[in-house]
């Protein structure tokens, strides 16, 4: 999609942005967890669904492009949450180098 002609009204999905943060396990240690950084409006575009086979079982991985208003605090390893759906951020880039939008390449978790 050409960022120069994106309609801001298409940013209609409300997502929670989460960052990795260790959480106490109650025994003096910690386990991997996530903390909410903020809420934002986004546009979610499904891109592909490559499949593979592992131990005679089909494995699917759905990838998405998620468009948000430009931010400097998004990094790979963070994730978006939409209800029970999780989108792991694998990479991100400024679509047209104007700092208007940020495109995140994501993989949907839990499928």
pTM as predicted:
0.81
Q: Tell me the per-residue pLDDT of 3-30, one tens digit each, with 9 for 90 and over.
A: 556 788 899 999 999 999 998 888 888 8
**What is the spatial distance between Cα 32 and Cα 72, in angstroms, rounded to a whole number?**
24
**Stretch 104-109: mean pLDDT, rounded?**
92
**Stretch 85-91: mean pLDDT, rounded?**
95
Domain covering 9-109, topology: Thrombin, subunit H (2.40.10)
Q: Which two tokens stand for residue 86?
A: 């999780």
Q: How would you class 62 by CB atoms within 10 Å of its CB: exposed for 0-12, middle for 13-18, buried for 19 or more? A: middle
Residue 83 gets the label, from left (phi > 0), alpha (psi -120 to 50) or beta, of: left
CA 60 distance to own-chain centroid = 17
pLDDT, residue 4, reads 58
Place of tokens 């997502």: 15
Residue 74's pLDDT band, with cuts at 50, 70 and 90, is very high
């Amino acid at each position: 999609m050409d960022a120069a002609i994106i309609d801001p009204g298409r940013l209609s999905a409300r997502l929670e942005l989460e960052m990795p943060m260790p959480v106490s396990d109650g025994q003096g240690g910690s386990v991997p967890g996530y903390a909410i950084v903020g809420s934002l409006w986004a546009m979610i575009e499904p891109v592909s669904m490559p499949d593979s086979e592992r131990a005679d079982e089909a494995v699917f991985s759905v990838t998405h492009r998620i468009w948000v208003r430009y931010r400097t605090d998004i990094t790979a390893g963070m994730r978006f949450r939409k209800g029970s759906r999780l989108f792991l951020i694998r990479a991100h880039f400024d679509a047209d180098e104007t700092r208007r939008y940020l495109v995140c390449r994501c993989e949907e978790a839990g499928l």
